[in-house]
Chains A and B, each alone.
Chain A
Amino acid sequence: MNLWSLALRNLLRNRRRSFATLLAMVVGLVAVLLFGGYRSNIAYGTQTGFVQQTGHLQIQRPGYYLDGGDNPAAYGIAGYRRIIDAIQRDETLAPMLAVITPTLRLGGIAGNFSAGLSRSVLAIGLIPEEHNRMLAWNEHGVVSYARPLPLAGSLPDAVVVGTGVARKLGLCHLLDAANCTPPPRTDDGQPTPDDIAALSAGERGDAAADAGTRIEVLAASARGAPNVASLDVVEAKNMGIKAFDDTYMAMHLATAQRLIYGGGEGQATAILVQLRHTAQMPAAAARLRELLAREFPGEALAVIDFATLNPMYGQTNEFMDSMFGFIALLIGVIILFTLGNTMSTAVIERTVEIGTLRAMGLRRAGIRRLFLCEALLLGAAGAVAGIAAALALAWLINHSGWTWTPPGYAYAYLILVRIGQDLPLLVGSVAGMFAVTLLSAWWPARRAARLVIVDALRHA
């Protein structure tokens, strides 16, 4: 019969009250863990999505991210291949690299002139094989919605467009028919202007005519003149976010370079650096800056991380963190008062007993310890039961197939919670609950310890 045994027996004296308090703690912990697990899944999911698309770090011309998105000619990196080679040779960076690849972003107008339809697009020129390797990155084991681009091994004029682009260009046979109604013609039935038709015909050359999939993309070349490429849409791909889906186009890097730079030296607007682990990002960024300054002193280059490139990542995490913090605080306060009330009632009920123990020689600290032990036992039981219940509920949720469509997204995501894989969440929640437990028991325990013995013994 040690202190813990005595504390346990005291808790079992009033089983109903102890159980009700325990239940409040379990429900509170389960709520915190489930929401925390949901938040965790969203955080890892968004990180994975952004890193798959943009890499962890990008090397760009200074100012390109803010001002150069629609002006690739002004912000192109001519010697991108030498830079990539230098990075791949670097002893520090090489082991961290998963993929390093150039991209060229450009704005233009895509036209399905045979259908009299056109729309503006934001196209990316990329190396499909390397891009697909980037899409395979999944450090945190989340449910990934990324599918490889079917450009690998395709002809140079192959492009992939967002389903929104395909719909707006009337490429309905690339889509689910029920989801596509060709929009009204935008040319009022007028034929394609002669100059565009001539440019397009020159570009198309001997390519097999396929009225269903061929489109023309008009872009401003590096010299400011219009340039046209005739391209073959091989797939319409749902890009998730509607605004993105309505403008997305991916093509071979060489095709994009020919559109912008014609026969001149091809450039890239960014070098994407995807690391094996996100935790390597600060070290890799520092090393990259050092390497670029040392080996390419004449080049104005900036290293930007994916969180800066994708402000939505930070905004989503901040939003979820604030929600989680608010919910955890509310639940903490509820547990604080529930347990505090339970302990205060126990002190009042056991006043004579406290007086007796003090008379027999138990020090004030001993009384304090006894009540704190009782609270800690409740906390431990609550933690074990809460974690078990949360894991069970998380399993049920993860296997339920429930989905939801986040604001601005074009398709539904599975509702998933990550508890078991998120050790900081588990440890933090349990530590938080123990802190609340101790805090709520401290005042009643202190009051019990400070009771005047003769008054306690007289207590009716």
Chain B
Amino acid sequence: MHPVSMRSVTKNYRLGTVEVPALHELDLDIPAGSFTVIAGPSGSGKTTLLNLIGCIDRPDRGEIVVAGQAVQAMSDDALSDFRARHIGFVFQHFNLLPVLTADENVEYPLRLAGVPAAERRARVRELVEAVGLADRRHYRPGQLSGGQRQRVAIARALATRPRLVLADEPTANLDSHTGAEIVALMRRMQREHGIAFILSSHDPLVHAAADALVLLHDGRIVPPAGEGSAP
């Protein structure tokens, strides 16, 4: 079963009185356990597509099935609960809660998912060690470097053992060396946990690591250069 399946998805944005198309009649299936990268120029619809897959935005038309459930008709609360259980997020600006330590940031989604305390502690320890921050677990984001913050964000995204992790430009705020480390970490975690990762990125390093590349242009999927069809 595909963790993400989209059929005829259209999304427009309104800028004043003008309607701007973001995605147009999009069909997409993300293979289970894959490391999929969405690429394309600025304004091509990469972030919009991630937002729809992440259930933080709704399509104007079309059907989206995530983790086996049609999400477009869910209520706001049901979508919140769904995201808490099935989807992890990694953001370009890390978006860690500044008042929480690394451990607490990783623990937060587990609290939202109602995981018991003992299990939370074990899971947090395991993940923080897995991303190489065992000696920084009590540091707050402000005391961590960019790369370390993104490691915490990756651990947080994986905390609830989601079906899907979405990462929007995860290396855009990192230098190339740290970016490479983060890509390698995400790739390793994706393999170890068997979770589908979907990333949007301009970064060739990220493209090179992808199992599958989805190229977007003006809200449509276009075949990569030299190929005849989209994935």
In addition to A356-B97, A360-B89, A366-B112, 5 A-B residue pairs with Cβ atoms within 8 Å of each other are A360-B108, A360-B109, A361-B81, A361-B109, A361-B113
Per-position binary interface string of chain B over residues 100-124, scored 1 when its CB falls under 8 Å from any chain A CB and 0 otherwise: 1000100111011100000000000
Tell whether, in the assembled complex, residue B56 and residue A352 are in contact, meaning their CB atoms are under 8 Å apart. no
Query: Contacting A6 at CB < 8 Å: which of B81, B93, B99?
Result: B99
Across the interface, A361 reaches (CB within 8 A) one of B83, B93, B95, B104, namely: B83
Identify the interface centre among B80, B82, B111: most chain A CB within 10 Å of its CB.
Answer: B80
| 8 A Cβ contacts from A350-370 to B | 352-353, 355-366
Q: Any chain A CB within 8 A of the CB of B151?
A: no
B163 at the A interface (CB under 8 A): no
Q: Which of B13-58 contact A (CB under 8 A)?
A: 51, 54, 56-57
Which residues of A line the B interface, CB within 8 A? 1, 6, 9-10, 12-13, 352-353, 355-366, 453-454, 457
Is B91 located at the chain interface by the 8 A CB criterion? yes
Which residues of A sit under 8 angstroms from B56, Cβ to Cβ? 358-359, 453-454, 457
Q: A364 and B99: CB pair below 8 A?
A: no
Contact present for B89 and A359 (CB under 8 Å): yes
Chain B residue numbers with a CB within 8 Å of A366 are 112
A364→B97 contact, CB < 8 A: no
Nearest CB on A from B208, distance (A): 27
Asked if B224 is at the interface of the complex by the 8 Å CB criterion, the answer is: no
Q: A1-B107, A361-B109 are in contact. Are A356 and B80 (CB under 8 A)?
A: no
6 A-B contact pairs sorted by A residue (CB < 8 Å): A1-B108, A9-B100, A355-B95, A362-B112, A363-B77, A365-B77
- Nearest B residue to A6, CB-CB: B99
List chain A residues, Cβ under 8 A from B108: 1, 360
B85 at the A interface (CB under 8 A): yes
- B183 sits at the interface (CB 8 A): no
A272 to B55, CA, bound (A): 79
* Interface residue B227 (Cβ < 8 Å from any Cβ of A): no
Known A1-B104, A361-B113, A453-B56; judge A356-B91 contact (CB<8 A).
yes
Question: A358: which B residues are within 8 A, CB to CB?
Answer: 56, 80
For residue A85, give the distance in angstroms from its CB to the closest CB of chain B.
75
Judge whether B132 is part of the interface by a CB distance below 8 angstroms: no
Let me know if A13 and B85 touch, CB within 8 A: no
- Chain A minimum-CB-distance residue to B105: A1
Q: Is the CB of B83 within 8 A of A360?
A: yes
> B76 on the interface (CB 8 Å rule)?
yes
Which listed residue (A13, A352, A360, A454) contacts B93, Cβ 8 A?
A: A352
A215 → chain B closest CB, angstroms: 82
Shortest beta-carbon contacts, A-B, top 8: A361-B84, A9-B99, A453-B56, A356-B95, A361-B83, A363-B80, A361-B112, A1-B104
| A-B pair number, CB within 8 angstroms | 67
**Distance in angstroms between the alpha carbons of A358 and B56 in the assembled complex:** 8
Q: A360-B84, A364-B76 are in contact. Are A453 and B57 (CB under 8 A)?
A: yes
| Cα separation A174 to B80 with both chains bound (whole Å) | 87
Q: Kindly list chain A residues whose C-beta atoms are within 8 Å of the C-beta of B107.
A: 1
Q: Does B98 contact A (CB under 8 A)?
A: yes
User: What CA separation (Å) do A454 and B113 show in the bound complex?
Assistant: 22
Q: In the assembled complex, which residues on chain A have CB atoms less than 8 Å from the CB atom of B77? A: 363-365
By beta carbon, the residue of chain A nearest B108 is A360
The residue of chain A having its C-beta at the shortest distance from the C-beta of B157 within the complex is A360
Asked if residues A457 and B91 are in contact (CB atoms below 8 Å), the reply is yes
Cα–Cα distance between A353 and B91 once the two chains are bound (Å): 12
- Nearest CB of chain A from residue B56's CB, rounded to whole Å: 4
Contact assessment for A361 and B80 in the assembled complex, using a CB-CB cutoff below 8 Å: yes
Chain A residues with Cβ under 8 A from B95's Cβ? 352-353, 355-356, 457
Q: Would you give the shortest CB distance from B96 to chain A, in whole angstroms?
A: 8
User: Which residues between 101 and 156 of chain B lie within 8 Å of chain A, taking CB atoms?
Assistant: 104, 107-109, 111-113, 156
Q: Are B76 and A454 in contact, with the CB atoms below 8 A?
A: no
With a cutoff of 8 Å between Cβ atoms, the chain A residues found around residue B97 in the complex are 6, 353, 356-357
Given A454-B51, A454-B57, A361 contacting B85 (CB threshold 8 A): yes
Residue of A nearest to B92 (CB): A457
Q: Give the chain B neighbours of A360 by CB distance below 8 A.
A: 83-84, 89, 108-109, 112, 156
Q: Nearest chain A CB to B95's CB is how many angstroms away?
A: 4
Bound form: Cα–Cα A356–B54 in Å:
12
* Chain B residue at smallest Cβ distance from A356: B95
Q: How far is the CA of A10 from the CA of B98 in the complex (A)?
A: 9
Identify the closest chain B residue to A11 (Cβ): B99
Contacts of B89 in A (CB 8 A): 356, 359-360
**Nearest opposing residue in chain A for B94, CB measure:** A356
Contacts of B104 in A (CB 8 A): 1
